[in-house]
Structure 1
Amino acid sequence: MNISTILPMMQTTKASKTLSITIGYYVAFLMFGLVAAVLGPTLPGLASQTHTTIRQVSMLFTARSLGYLFGAFLGGRLYDRFPGHPILSIVLAMMTIIIATVPLIPFLWGLLTLLLLLGVIEGVLELGGNTLLVWLHKEKTGPFMNGLHFFFGVGAFVTPLIVGQVFLHTGQIQWAYWILAILILPSAGWLCRLPSPEIQSNARHQEQNAKKTFLVGVIVVLFLLYVGSEVSFGGWIYTYTISLYQGVETTAAYLTSAFWGALTFGRLLAIPFAAYFAPRLLLLANFIGCLISVSLLLIGTPSLTIIWIGTLGVGVSMAPVFPTLLTFAGRHIQITAKINSWFCIGSGVGGMTLPLLIGQVFEIYGPQAVMFTIFADLILGLGLLLGVMLCSFRFRQA
């Protein structure tokens, strides 16, 4: 067998292995999405299970968010030191155990502990998927990153349907958690048998990134602003709508589902665009689309039709921002797990703080404060994006 025969076979084998690894990441993020969306629709059931009020059991969200921040920080240290696939397999297995245990805990403090640990696992999992995909595909990451977050959206979209059907047939939430645990378990073994991407954190890369600390910091703040606006819109559109119009609770619920559905569809739609357009152009288009869509909701008291149009527009426009911003960062910075952990921490802080701020101004200024706050956040984000683009250009010239 000569060299001309061996090389194509080696390339085919490598491409097949890369495809298998990519599918493994997609499956992991599909499971992540399933788990990420389960708490909201099961919150009343968990309150009944622990004999607490909705206000008390809502502390589970805070515990989970704090755990996520720690998990992102921890993951940045783990993935820069150890092969990534065993770590992903372990956290998926741990996620299975925690999800299966949640319906068995009758005490709020017990659930708080579990959700804190679940947040840690989710932080390690999300950081790992984002980082390892960049290491696997390098400069061709763009469309694959949008695909990764599309599968997260699919999982988040499916979970409420599972919960609804389980509750419809049993009147309880236990089987919803156990079904998710059964779905997650096989995914833990997928990546364990495949080689992990090469760790990208040697001394040369650390020195290179040290020269770009300011650029990293600015991108962290940009993640904070974007995720804050995404979580705020998805979390407040229901309350915003029912505050403007009485008796539209069902419509408001559909609007919430429509937003997350549009976010998922937008990520699928962005995959071919990410393959042909530079990340900076996509980000500019996305932020401008978000601003135009939100501005529709700022003109007087918008009709329900306008609210629908604005909500769908925001969802589709926001969809590619997170994965595209990761791709953009990878074009200008050698991405290590430690650096990616700061991106995740910025995202977690944004998802915690802006919705809380809106809750404070909502009581004072009414429902329009929701959209004004999100609009201001996006304006600041667009300005910062332009600053990041300028900084990245200057660093390329350095």
Structure 2
Amino acid sequence: MRSIPFSNFSRASGEDTATADASQRISSDENREAQGPRLMSEQVQTIWHPYKNRFRVMAACLTSLGNGMNDSAPGALIASVERDYNIAYGTVSIIFVCNALGFVAAAFFISALSSRIGRSKSLMISEALLILGYTVIATTPPFPAVCASFFFLGIGMAMNLAICQVFCANLANNTAVVGAYQGAYGIGGTTGPLIATALISHGSVWSRFYTIEVGLASLNFFVIPWAFWNYESESDHEQMLPHPASEQSGSTQRRWKSFKELLSDRTTVLGSLFIFAYQGSEVAISGWVIAFLVQFRNGDPSKVGYVSSGFWAGITLASDLFVPSIPSDSVAIAFSGLLLGPIYPCAVHIFQRLIPKKMQISSLSLIGSVGSSGGTAAPFMTGMLAQHVGTFVLHPICIGLFVTMGVTWFFLPKPEKRSE
């Protein structure tokens, strides 16, 4: 039998080994390529990475604190505003309408503006608008100027709300982060009526409250642009953005198509209605519960202003209908706030899971803007009806809004379970 040379055997064995190694490398490369998109999509920024994110979250919470003070203070100030301008409930409610118009107006350009000039400059513009509005109100101008100022406040608040909310919603463990963001809003909502009532009790003009807001907005004007400076240029940020700026700032036809897609998205529409009802009930209670206690419980306006601070622990159970005493009402209002507290961050977490990644900035901006306009539309409706039938209308309006929340939540799509 003819023997096989050892050199040939070695060469054949080496070739087989090389072929196997090459096949293994190709298979490994293919696996990496197949897993690449999934791994990229799973890599999400956290509150700790990049390092500056911790300051961004704190800056976002600072703006939310100011927004909470702005939304809660009118409840303690309405009686003084009516007295100083000699106007009725229906007229003073115009400030809520102007605020709502500002929110709605901002919804049409927030996404395009932040894509074109970046979050940092957009937030700087929002704080500049807040400084302008608060400064005018602090001078106790004629009532039409107050209404115009609330319009600019609506635009400024809608801008920082949408940008900061989208940022928080895209971080890992976003329920906790959005909860902290909303918690700062609650702290502002708690301190706003306390400060406003204390100022009025000591004989100060109602508008002096807004000098505090001027100072806070001025601080934010420098802090939040610094925190978000160069945010878009960070290495891993591209994974989070639904569209590059060049795509979002395309032709009018493309933007119109994107807007139609936005309105056809079930989660966006139902989410907007849900947050509209949520914030409508929230601000309506905070804004008008003081007037209710004064009119139906014979409360002292200089003292019952503290009650709305208790509300910013939760939502109303409408116990005012059945318990005719201010202490009992105060406890019920505070307890109801405790129940409302977790709804907003949990809802944003669900929306973020349901909305396609490419639509999140536009969709959450629309949800935030339209939803926040509920915080101005509902108080206006309450004021108009209260002028004719009394502040008792606060209860059926809020109950109707709660029912709306339940119905819209029921019809939301079910989140898909993640298999990875």
Q: TM-score range by the shorter chain?
A: 0.7 to 0.9
Distance 2:288 2:190 in 1: 17
Letter in 2 for 1:177: Y
Structure 1 unpaired stretches of 5+: 1-10, 264-289
Aligned to 2:214: 181
The normalised TM-score by structure 1 is 0.73
Highest CA radius of gyration, 1 or 2? 2
Q: Within the alignment, does 1:201 sit opposite 2:213 as a pair?
A: no
Aligned to 2:30: none
Indicate if the aligned counterparts of 2:134 and 2:211 stay in contact, CA closer than 8 A.
yes
Indicate if the aligned counterparts of 2:201 and 2:302 stay in contact, CA closer than 8 A.
no
Q: Kindly, what percent of the aligned residue pairs are identical? A: 16
Aligned to 1:20: 55
Structure 2 residue aligned with 1:294, among 317, 337, 347?
A: 317
Indicate if the aligned counterparts of 1:71 and 1:122 stay in contact, CA closer than 8 A.
no
Shift in Å, 1:242: 4.6
Shift in Å, 1:145: 0.6
Letter in 2 for 1:350: G
Q: Within the alignment, does 1:320 sit opposite 2:342 as a pair?
A: yes
Distance 1:125 1:38 in 2: 19
Change (3 A) 1:37 1:374: closer
Shift in Å, 1:43: 5.2
Between 161-170 and 61-70, the greater mean CA deviation after superposition = 161-170
Structure 2 residue aligned with 1:149, among 182, 190, 201?
A: 182
Shift in Å, 1:104: 3.5
Change (3 A) 1:36 1:336: same
Between 197-206 and 374-383, the greater mean CA deviation after superposition = 197-206
Q: Within the alignment, does 1:338 sit opposite 2:354 as a pair?
A: no
Distance 2:206 2:388 in 1: 36
Structure 1 residue aligned with 2:205, among 162, 169, 172?
A: 172
Aligned to 2:145: 110
Q: Within the alignment, does 1:347 sit opposite 2:371 as a pair?
A: yes
Q: Which has the higher helix share?
A: 1
Letter in 2 for 1:228: G
Letter in 2 for 1:184: A
Shift in Å, 1:130: 0.8
Letter in 1 for 2:395: M
Distance 1:13 1:219 in 2: 29
Indicate if the aligned counterparts of 1:236 and 1:370 stay in contact, CA closer than 8 A.
yes
Shift in Å, 1:40: 4.8
Q: How does 1:256-295 map to 2 (within 5 A)?
A: 256-260=308-312, 262-263=313-314, 294=317
Between 150-159 and 323-332, the greater mean CA deviation after superposition = 150-159
Indicate if the aligned counterparts of 2:88 and 2:387 stay in contact, CA closer than 8 A.
no
Shift in Å, 1:157: 2.6
Distance 1:19 1:354 in 2: 35
Shift in Å, 1:44: 6.2
Distance 1:12 1:67 in 2: 31
Shift in Å, 1:226: 1.7
Shift in Å, 1:212: 7.2
SS in 1 for 2:51: helix
Letter in 2 for 1:189: F
Q: Report Cα offsets for 1:161-182 as digits up to 9, x if no partner.
A: 4445555667335654334323
The normalised TM-score by structure 2 is 0.69
Structure 2 residue aligned with 1:33, among 61, 68, 92?
A: 68
Distance 1:75 1:349 in 2: 15
Equivalent pairs, count: 351
SS in 2 for 1:294: coil
SS in 1 for 2:242: coil
Structure 1 residue aligned with 2:305, among 249, 253, 278?
A: 253
Aligned to 1:215: 267
Distance 1:46 1:363 in 2: 15
Indicate if the aligned counterparts of 2:65 and 2:184 stay in contact, CA closer than 8 A.
yes
Distance 2:93 2:73 in 1: 13
Shift in Å, 1:25: 1.1
Indicate if the aligned counterparts of 2:382 and 2:393 stay in contact, CA closer than 8 A.
yes
Q: How does 1:62-141 map to 2 (within 5 A)?
A: 62-104=97-139, 106-135=141-170, 137=171, 139-141=172-174
SS in 2 for 1:190: helix
Aligned to 1:191: 224
Shift in Å, 1:41: 4.4
Q: Within the alignment, does 1:53 sit opposite 2:87 as a pair?
A: yes
Q: Report Cα offsets for 1:193-246 as digits up to 9, x if no partner.
A: 333254623289979x76971222122221122222222332333344455544
Between 160-169 and 178-187, the greater mean CA deviation after superposition = 160-169
Distance 1:252 1:100 in 2: 27
Change (3 A) 1:316 1:349: same
Shift in Å, 1:349: 4.2
Distance 1:245 1:45 in 2: 18
Shift in Å, 1:84: 0.9
Indicate if the aligned counterparts of 1:80 and 1:336 stay in contact, CA closer than 8 A.
no
Indicate if the aligned counterparts of 2:121 and 2:225 stay in contact, CA closer than 8 A.
yes
Indicate if the aligned counterparts of 1:73 and 1:345 stay in contact, CA closer than 8 A.
no
Output the aligned Cα RMSD.
3.9
Letter in 1 for 2:317: V
